[in-house]
Amino acid sequence: MANIQQINGDYYGSKETLTEALPYLKQKDVYSAAINNLFGIADKELSLYNDAIFYYQEALKDCTDEASKQSPLNNIAVVYIHQKKYDKAILILESIINEKSLNTDLTRKARVLDNLGFAYFKKGIHDKGLLLMQNSFNLRNKIDDAYGNIEGNLHLAEFYSKPNPQKPNPQQSNQYAQSAYEIATRFNSVDERLKALSFLISNDSGNKNAQYAQKYITINDSIIKIRNNFKNKFAKIKYDSKKEKDENQKLRLQKVENELSLQEAKYQKIVAGIGIIFLIIVIVILIRYYRNKNRIEKIKTAYDTETRIAKDIHDELANDVFHAMTFTQTQPLESDSIKETLVQKLDNIYSRVRRISKENNTIDITANYSAGLKEMLSTYNSNNTNVIINNVEKVNWELVDAIKKVTIHRILQELMVNMTKHSNASLVVVKFDSNGKIVFIDYTDNGKGCKKEEIIKNGLQNMENRILAIKGTITFDSEPDKGFKVKITLPK
């Protein structure tokens, strides 16, 4: 399409069409070379000589052999002649003439000889230039290259025209110009016809001059009109073709979309069926999993509780029961004071048994929760330890989740047991507070404390795990001989 536009003189339109062709290039090959060569021709005809050379050089890069490089090299030389850089043009054309492959393509050889002779002539080396141009002219006649001889006739017409001060021969110039005009008319090469007429006008000052001038004007006006009409016609053809192509593409897309929609609906039904079956399987597996998990947790909890009770009985009661039995065996029970001592020992054992029982009982999380919590904390009061409980009723326990109530109870219970076993504290303060959304609990004792790195070793890791499980926070603060502090916060 771009080539057709150039034949009809639409060089700007040709460049636009070539630009549309560029995205279809996937690699450097004969097509990319052809596109760049056409770009160069368009820019040469538009007198954009530097751009033309650039594109010819790009075409040269895509040529794969020496023979295919000759055409873009020749075109570069022609542009150099237009730029009056005759030495550069001659250097390129002489290198092409010396190529052996040129002897197998006589049409190309005649064109290179003609351009080389014309370059020598323009440089001022007239005899050598004329000889090369005549050799080319004769070769074209021999191989019947009539179209190529249009340019050959024009070059010789310019050589003999009046502006050439060396060998002006207007009559001979007119002969070559007239010949170029006739051949150009036969091939409908309008630009060459106009150029031939320009030589006839400049060489002749008689009556024919006016005829040539009138013919020049008529042809020039006609070609401008024809080329403008061609541009409009070509644009419409492209538009109609694109419109038809887009409509066909749209219809094809609609058909494909309809087929895809039907296929998609079918697949959706299949996927939905598979999804429902899969979901049922997952639900069954999860139900079994959580049932087993709950059963395992209950077993583990029961085991932990039994282990803790056994340990408490062993640590706290076994020795006291043994001492009580030894006491009854070694002391005279008839004495009132001895009986009173034995009663105190048995009462102490009874109190400890009650406390162990309460520690492992089910926690009451009903409206009596605060009373039960306070009672649990109060059981750790003794002759040696004073437990103070502040503001436990200030928290609206009914708004606190049941699991969190159990967690708070167990954590405080573990703190009190830890205090009893390790702290030797004489004073313990447990303070409660709430801002409506968060419960705050502060535990403080004046016991012997411990180093911070030993806190986890004292069994407090379990408390931290419990509080994190209900999205709360717990912080421990302790130093040797400076007591023990714990801050607990958790959302209701």
End-to-end CA separation in angstroms for the chain: 79
What does the alpha-carbon distance between residue 118 and residue 86 come to, in Å, rounded to a whole number?
9
Conformation bin of residue 151: beta by default, left when phi > 0, alpha when psi is -120 to 50: alpha
State which of 8-12, 103-107, 118-122, 391-395 shows the largest mean pLDDT: 118-122
Would you give the distance in Å from CA 405 to the centre of its chain?
50
Q: Residue 33 above 60 pLDDT?
A: yes
Q: Could you give the angle at the alpha carbon of 44 between the alpha carbons of 239 and 145, nearest 5°?
A: 95
Contact present, 401 and 409 (Cβ < 8 Å)? no
For the stretch 433-442, pLDDT in tens is 998 789 999 9
The residues pairing with 384 across neighbouring beta strands, listed in sequence order, are none
Give CA 256 to chain center in angstroms.
Answer: 29
Q: How many CB atoms are closer than 10 A to CB 480? A: 10
Tell the residue number behind the tokens 């040529």, with chain if given. 63
Instruction: Give the Cα separation of 144 and 183 in Å (integer).
Output: 12
Q: What b/e readout covers 220-234, taking b as 16+ CB neighbours within 10 angstroms?
A: eeebeeebeebbeeb
The pLDDT, as a whole number, for residue 260 is 87
d(CA 348, CA 139): 136
pLDDT at 299: 47
| Average pLDDT over all residues of the chain | 84
Please, which residues bridge with residue 486 across strands? 443, 476
Altogether, the residues listed in the chain come to a count of: 492
Phi (first) and psi of residue 48, to 5 degrees: -95, 75
Q: Specify whether the CB–CB gap between 313 and 356 falls below 8 A.
A: yes
Measured in degrees and rounded to the nearest 5, phi and psi for residue 192 equal -70, -35
Q: What percent of the chain has a predicted confidence (pLDDT) above 70? A: 84
DSSP state of 436: S
With beta carbons less than 8 A apart as the criterion, state whether 483 and 445 touch.
yes
Strands (E) in 354-460, as ranges, are 386-390, 427-434, 438-445
Q: Tokens 């065996």 label which residue?
A: 329
Contact 2, 10 (CB under 8 A): no
pLDDT greater than 70 at residue 306: no
297 vs 17, more confident: 17
Strand partners, 430: 389, 443
pLDDT above 80 (res 363): no
pLDDT surpasses 60 at 297:
no
pLDDT of 323 > 60? The answer is yes
Query: How many other C-beta atoms can be found within 10 angstroms of the C-beta atom of residue 197?
Result: 24
Residues 300-316: what's their mean pLDDT? 60
Mean per-residue pLDDT, 12-25: 91
The answer to whether the pTM exceeds 0.85 is no
Q: Which of 80, 97, 98 is nearest to 89 (CA)?
A: 80
pLDDT score of 460 more than 60: yes
What's the pLDDT at 354? 62
pLDDT tens profile 388-435: 999 998 888 888 888 899 889 989 988 888 888 888 899 999 999 998
- pLDDT tens across 325-335, in order? 777 777 777 77
In this structure, are residues 97 and 113 in contact, taking their beta carbons and an 8 Å threshold? Answer: yes
pLDDT > 60? residue 155: yes
- Residue written as tokens 């003189």? 9
Kindly state the average pLDDT of the residues 360-365: 70
Least confident interval from 174-183, 227-236, 363-372, 458-467: 227-236
Q: Which residues of 53-88 are buried (b: 16+ CB within 10 A; e: fewer)?
A: bebbebbbebbeeeeebbbbbbbbbbbbbeeeebeb
**Dist CA 335 CA 10 (whole Å):** 137
Residue with tokens 């040696």: 384
More confident: 313 or 51: 51
List helix spans (H) across 143-206.
146-159, 170-186, 190-203
| Average pLDDT value for residue range 448-468 | 74
- Does residue 382 sit in helix, strand or coil? coil
The span from the CA of 38 to the CA of 18, in Å, is: 8
Q: What per-residue confidence (pLDDT) applies to 310?
A: 64
Which pLDDT belongs to residue 111?
A: 94
Rounded to whole angstroms, the Cα distance separating 326 from 398 reads 50
Strand partners, 429: 388, 444
* pLDDT on residue 350: 66
Kindly tell me if the per-residue pLDDT of 205 is higher than 70: no
Residue 456 has pLDDT above 80, yes or no: no
pLDDT of 195 over the 70 cut: yes
To the nearest whole percent, how much of the chain has pLDDT over 90?
37
What are the counts of helices (DSSP H) followed by strands (DSSP E) for the chain?
Answer: 17, 5
Strand-pairing partners, residue 456, are: none
H/E stretch holding 486: strand 484-491
Determine the pLDDT at residue 213.
76
389, two tokens: 């409980």
Q: What one-letter code names the amino acid at 304?
A: D
The residue that leads in pLDDT, 382 or 345, is 382
* pLDDT tier for residue 164 given thresholds of 50, 70 and 90: low
pLDDT recorded at residue 343: 76
CA–CA distance, 164 with 320 (Å, rounded to integer)? 140
pLDDT single digits (tens) 244-291: 776 777 778 888 888 888 888 888 889 888 989 999 999 999 988 887
